[in-house]
Chain A
Amino acid sequence: MSAIQASLKSRSSSLDVERIRADFPILKLRVGGKPLVYLDNAASSQMPQQVIDRLVRYQTTQHANIHRAVHYLSETATHEYEEARRKLQRFINAREDREVIFTSGTTEAINLVMHGYGRKFIGAGDEIILTTLEHHSNIVPWQMLCEEKGAIIRVVPINDAGELLVDAYEKLFNERTKFVGVMHVSNALGTINPIKPMIAFAHARGVPVLIDGAQAAPHMTVDVQDLDCDFYAFSGHKLCGPTGIGILYGKAALLEKMQPFKGGGDMILSVTFEKTTYNVIPHKFEAGTPPIAAAIGLGAAVDYLAATGMDKIAAHELDLLDYATEQVNRMPGVRIIGTAEKKAAVLSFALDGVHPHDVGTLLNEEGVAIRTGHHCAQPVMQRFKVPATSRASFAFYNTLAEVDALVAGIRTVQKIFG
């Protein structure tokens, strides 16, 4: 064990990783005869037995449709679903539970804001500020709005380390600026953006801010009141919950002003063919039967994360990232893409003379699962003049030994390509 590994091991001793790993049945898998080394957590994380058990318990003893019938199961399911909403409220420290809307994920949450807020309050010639780092899901909905309304997107540039140029951000504001969308943590590079001062700057000019928190909520404590963001979106399956569920947090006053996104059952108070009255928030935005089991599963997932401790999770993941960065920096022929001072859980890299797809296929041969491609962030790839990168992304159940497996795998790839 190297000195740095030893010192890191003592630093991260507050998190009992072996005990945590025992909670995740999938981590015992072998891939092609090798132990699975799952380093694709930014795409989707794995689920602990506690969440799997919760889904089974719901489905075997509590399921019926919610907000409908007066029978026992419907009342139980409704109670558990709304209890899950309160768990999410506490997880992000929202003021009220009605500020937490269940969506299918981050993408739908952002689309909800575009339709509900953007289409009502943003018009021709108005400007929307986004950043170079954004995931396509925080670019394309706004382009659709611009096409419909004649609004304009302004883009905050980044430096060579992958950090937002905050001065340039501030200079983009003018009297036509109507909205800001910015990601909390970059999925492609791992950059943690200085969103709190950025939000304060926008608010001083009366401009609301949406935060794409898909890559932040799994890795750090998120306090929406402290951030003072207007909207905060994230996905369940990236924080040990099921797919098909996510959260849009919105300030109650804004959500009340917004128009519904989808029409249907449960989002209404009364319907006649002459006039329909919409339900109150959050139900106004939850048309149709929601993914009840997934919502309850997500509630169990945030319980699990809270019990583990978000601060401990963040500290352990930073140890993994520091160790991986140090190891990879020592390797000739490997370039880390994204070297921001403040980063979370993501190591994007390029190998000289080897295309990321070949890296991914050959690492898979070693049991190491990483993501290769443009990470739904093509503007970032264009900025760094690469078609794609290889990306290892960590979760709190990963170990230093798994980082070693990644590094050994990269060496094998280099050997094959000579």
Chain B
Amino acid sequence: MADSKQLYQEVILDHNRKPRNFGTLENASHTATGHNPLCGDHIGLALKLNGDAIDGIAFHGEACAICKASASMMTSTVKGKTRQEAETLIQEFRDMATGKLDLQRQPHHLGRLAVFAGVHDLPTRVKCAILPWHTLHAALHSVASTSTESEDDPMHAPIGGA
């Protein structure tokens, strides 16, 4: 069994206590709400796209430490990146969280987001970490609302209930 205390590292606790880019965004061009019906958590995400570049990003909502820290670190990471770079990170983060990406052996761009690798040993918490990324994917594709439980969503991860 994984030692879940390892997941609750200082960096995650810090982002939970002081989430970056937390709040609203004026003149947002893309928004989406992500919802995890299993636990009731929800994340609202607003983006400002300038051409292909993510110029601004903010999130708000109510969520656990894993989800809030994931959202905080995600927004810090994708700010200034292109849509394509963000899409790549979404895919890599999801693969890491579901155990499909071996950080040691396979190339990736996750950097310090690798602190979330341990979540894959906690099946019930995978969705908490993925929800913000799921919501970013929806916002980039102009889907107003999404859920970790929507079957046809490419981010759907079949994990046990809360």
Contacts and interface: CB of A to CB of B under 8 A. Distances in A.
Interface of A: 31-32, 354-358, 361-362, 364-365, 372-374, 378, 381, 387-388, 416-418
B40 A354 contact: no
A32 B125 CA distance: 17
A381 B41 CA distance: 12
B22 interface: no
B162 A358 contact: no
B1 A31 contact: yes
B4 A388 contact: no
B5 interface: yes
Contacts of A387: 39-41, 62
Given A373-B38, A387-B40, 12 more contacts: A357-B125, A357-B128, A358-B64, A361-B4, A361-B124, A361-B125, A364-B4, A365-B5, A374-B39, A374-B40, A388-B39, A416-B8
B39 to A, nearest CB: 5
A-B complex: 9 closest residue pairs judged by Cβ atoms: A355-B64, A357-B64, A387-B40, A373-B162, A358-B65, A32-B1, A361-B4, A358-B64, A374-B40
Contact of A357 (B1, B3, B5, B39): B39
Nearest to A359: B64
B38 A361 contact: no
11 contacts: A31-B1, A355-B65, A357-B66, A358-B64, A361-B122, A362-B5, A373-B38, A373-B40, A381-B40, A416-B8, A417-B13
Contacts of B40: 373-374, 378, 381, 387-388
B71 to A, nearest CB: 13
Nearest to A354: B65
A362 B4 contact: yes
Interface string B93-135: 0000000000000000000000000000010110010000000
B162 A362 contact: no
A189 B66 CA distance: 26
B39 A358 contact: no
A373 B162 CA distance: 7
Given A374-B40, A378-B40, A418-B13, A358 B8 contact: yes
B21 to A, nearest CB: 19
A373 B39 contact: yes
Contact of B8 (A356, A362, A364, A372): A362
A416 B39 CA distance: 22
Interface of B: 1, 3-5, 7-8, 13, 16, 38-41, 62-66, 68, 122, 124-125, 128, 162
Contacts of A418: 13
A378 B35 CA distance: 15
A241 to B, nearest CB: 22
A355 B66 CA distance: 10
A355 B41 CA distance: 10
A373 B127 CA distance: 14
A416 B13 contact: yes
- Quick one: which of A31, A358, A365 has the most chain B CB within 10 A? A358
Contacts of B125: 357, 361
A365 B64 contact: no
Contacts of A372: 39, 162
Contacts of A365: 3-5
B131 to A, nearest CB: 12
Nearest to B6: A365
Nearest to B41: A387
A361 B39 CA distance: 13
Contacts of B16: 417
A387 B64 CA distance: 10
- Quick one: which of B4, B13, B38 has the most chain A CB within 10 A? B4
A14 B148 CA distance: 49
Contacts of A388: 39-40
A112 to B, nearest CB: 24
A362 B5 CA distance: 7
B69 to A, nearest CB: 10
A31 B3 CA distance: 11
Contacts of B122: 361
B85 to A, nearest CB: 30
Contacts of A361: 4, 7, 122, 124-125
B4 A355 contact: no
A416 B16 CA distance: 12
Nearest to B12: A358
A361 B66 CA distance: 11
Given A361-B122, A361-B125, A372-B162, A355 B63 contact: yes
B100 to A, nearest CB: 22
Nearest to B68: A355
- Quick one: which of B1, B41, B128, B162 has the most chain A CB within 10 A? B162
